[in-house]
Amino acid sequence: MNELISGFKQVVPSIPYIVSGIWVSLGIAAGAAILGFIGGILLSLCKIGRIKLLRGLANMYTSVFRGTPLILQLAIAYFGIPQIFNMGDVNPLTCAILTFGLNSAAYMSEIIRGGINAVDKGQLEAAKALGVSYWPTMKDIILPQAIKNILPAIMNEFITLTKDTALVSTITVTELMRRSQIVAANIYNYFPPMLISLVMYYIIVMILTYLGRRLERRMRRSD
Amino acid sequence: MIDAEHIYKNFGDIHVLKDVTLQVNKGEVVVIIGPSGSGKSTFLRCINLLEHPTSGKVMVDEDNLTTMKPKQVIKVREKVGMVFQHFYLFPHKTVLENLIYAPMKVKGLSKDDAVKRAEELLNKVGLLEKKNQYPNKLSGGQKQRVAIARSLAMEPDYMLFDEPTSALDPEMVKEVLDVIQSLAESGMTMIIVTHEMGFAKQVANKVVFMDDGRILESNTPEAFFSHPSTERAQDFLEKIL
């Protein structure tokens, strides 16, 4: 018990260091979410499209990224690929955002595909009958309705993504969790710095959940 | 002129249309009637190529839709408006936004011009005060009137109506039929699939009776309703009137 109390005392000076790691975590999550969202839309359009080759490729992509561990994908992207292509040192942050983005696109594409399929076929026909071509129909008519319906699922994906950024501690990025580990090693006391990370992750997820609900309510205006 | 010649349509092994031929001249109002599953709606959807005929030719003015590239078909659809049984208004857009979307996107109208035209049309169908509402706040009859106005906003030369009142509560049928009738009186060329016989009698220049994927009769409404020539049509009229 005494050890724990002294541990908390020791960690106090390092709190700002650990806490500010949240910006790194959030940065990765946000970058990856944007990549994942755009990638997910493109993939889902390939999957529902008529071109067999694109459909096959998109399905294969999803299958590979969903079928292998994220931490392994991260290791391959950071340690493996730079080595075989002689790229020297790559920026671990860029690497993390790309890997998370590509991974998230696979999950996102399935969510979006489901959302598009759930929009009444008549919407597409009504737009067609008005002489609107494919892309504007998708962008202005189908996707807004699809995304409204899948907003909770997207929010879920983003929360998972945020928590999974803890994995990038394995490729030297000093985000929230990595900072806790560094501080823990310095003071030879693990519990207090880890607890700080834990609380931070939880607060962030609560804030995201709240923002998601507000966004959802705003988009339900037309209901 | 709309000219559909020898239209066949198969869905797998099911032959929905078997050699349907119909000509609609400018200013004509043609009403298609017949039992459910007779291919009326499919035929209508073949005219603007929402369904691609298995064989046959669809001409709209000088354009042969069946041999055109998809991009050109989109162009022709601008002048063939369509109204659906289930309205298909865009639920995430307000009434006004529903009306101005296609004219701005497809015809490149400025927002001011599009809004002006939209407001005139909404006024015509008696729904100007609803312009900032979302579709889910409207009754079925109001939705269908908005859908008609949305089609008209593209200034089409032809209008196709696919059972426009079949999804409506009985007391809302008239308000929609009134709009269609005034459109007929203004000289719009129209093909209407409907089960409203009284309405058919009133607005049609020509009544077409379809059954089992074929046109069995095509006549003036007076002749058709007073002495249908085929047994099938007699039977049909007896059952519904």
Question: Residue by residue, what is the 3-state secondary structure of chain A?
Answer: CHHHHHHHHHHHHHHHHHHCHHHHHHHHHHHHHHHHHHHHHHHHHHHHCCCHHHHHHHHHHHHHHHHCCHHHHHHHHHHHHHHHCCCCCCCHHHHHHHHHHHHHHHHHHHHHHHHHHHCCHHHHHHHHHCCCCHHHHHHHHHHHHHHHHHHHHHHHHHHHHHHHHHHHHHHCCCCHHHHHHHHHHHHCCCHHHHHHHHHHHHHHHHHHHHHHHHHHHHHHHHC
For testing the chain B interface, which of A120, A128, A130 should be mutated: the one with the most B CBs within 10 Å? A130
User: According to the model, what pLDDT value does residue A130 have?
Assistant: 95
CA atoms within 13 A on the CB side of A30: 8
Identify all chain A residues contacting B102, using CB atoms and an 8 Å cutoff.
127, 130-132
Identify all chain B residues contacting A136, using CB atoms and an 8 Å cutoff.
105
Hey, is the C-beta of A59 within 8 angstroms of any chain B C-beta?
no
Q: Which two tokens stand for residue B92?
A: 């995430």
Hey, is the C-beta of B8 within 8 angstroms of any chain A C-beta?
no
Exposed e or buried b for every residue in A47-72, given b needs 16+ CB within 10 A? beeeeeeeeeebeebbeebeeeebee
A&B contacts, CB < 8 Å: 69
SS (H, E, C) chain B: CEEEEEEEEEECCEEEEEEEEEEECCCCEEEEECCCCCCHHHHHHHHCCCCCCCEEEEEECCEEHHHCCHHHHHHHHCCEEEECCCCCCCCCCCHHHHHHHHHHHHHCCCHHHHHHHHHHHHHHCCCHHHCCCCHHHCCHHHHHHHHHHHHHCCCCCEEEEECCCCCCCHHHHHHHHHHHHHHHHCCCEEEEECCCHHHHHHHCCEEEEEECCEEEEEECHHHHHHCCCCHHHHHHHHHHC
Nearest-CA distance from B226 to chain A in Å? 36
| Local confidence pLDDT in tens for the 241 residues of chain B | 999 999 999 999 999 999 999 999 999 999 999 998 899 999 999 999 999 999 999 999 999 999 999 899 999 999 999 999 999 999 999 999 999 999 999 999 999 999 999 999 999 999 999 999 999 999 999 999 999 999 999 999 999 999 999 999 999 999 999 999 999 999 999 999 999 999 999 999 999 999 999 999 999 999 999 989 999 999 999 888 6
Exposed e or buried b for every residue in A137-167, given b needs 16+ CB within 10 A? bbebbbbbbbbbbbbebbbbbbbebbbbbbb
User: According to the model, what pLDDT value does residue B239 have?
Assistant: 87
Q: Are B86 and A122 within 8 A, CB to CB? A: yes
Hey, is the C-beta of A51 within 8 angstroms of any chain B C-beta?
no
Hey, is the C-beta of B227 within 8 angstroms of any chain A C-beta?
no
Q: Give the Å distances, CA to CA, from A153 to A109, A131, A160, B146.
A: 12, 32, 11, 33
Q: Which two tokens stand for residue B136?
A: 């889910």
Nearest-CA distance from B169 to chain A in Å? 20
User: According to the model, what pLDDT value does residue B2 have?
Assistant: 95
Q: Are B105 and A140 within 8 A, CB to CB? A: yes
Identify all chain A residues contacting B75, using CB atoms and an 8 Å cutoff.
131
- Residue A131 is nearest to which of B84, B93, B106, comparing CB atoms? B106
Identify all chain B residues contacting A123, using CB atoms and an 8 Å cutoff.
88, 90
Nearest-CA distance from A126 to chain B in Å? 6
Identify all chain B residues contacting A140, using CB atoms and an 8 Å cutoff.
101, 105
B86 Cβ contact list (under 8 Å, min separation 6): A122, B167
Q: A87 exposed, middle or buried (CB, 10 Å; 0-12, 13-18, 19+)? A: exposed
Taking the C-alpha atoms of residue A178 and residue A104, their distance in angstroms, rounded to an integer, is 22
Give the pLDDT confidence of A112-166 residue by residue, as tens digits: 999 999 999 999 999 999 999 999 999 999 999 999 889 989 999 999 999 999 9
User: According to the model, what pLDDT value does residue B159 have?
Assistant: 96
CA atoms within 13 A on the CB side of A142: 29
Q: Which two tokens stand for residue A137?
A: 């129909």
B63-64 vs B55-60, strand pairing mode: antiparallel
Residue in A closest to B85 by C-alpha: A122
Predicted TM-score (pTM) of the model is 0.85
Q: B142 exposed, middle or buried (CB, 10 Å; 0-12, 13-18, 19+)? A: buried
Nearest-CA distance from B15 to chain A in Å? 22
For testing the chain A interface, which of B44, B68, B72, B105 should be mutated: the one with the most A CBs within 10 Å? B105
Structure ipTM: 0.91
pLDDT at A45 over 90: yes
Alpha-carbon dihedral sign for residues B56, B60, B61, B65: negative
- Residue B88 is nearest to which of A126, A140, A222, comparing CB atoms? A126
Q: Are A131 and B78 within 8 A, CB to CB? A: yes
Q: Are B134 and A222 within 8 A, CB to CB? A: yes
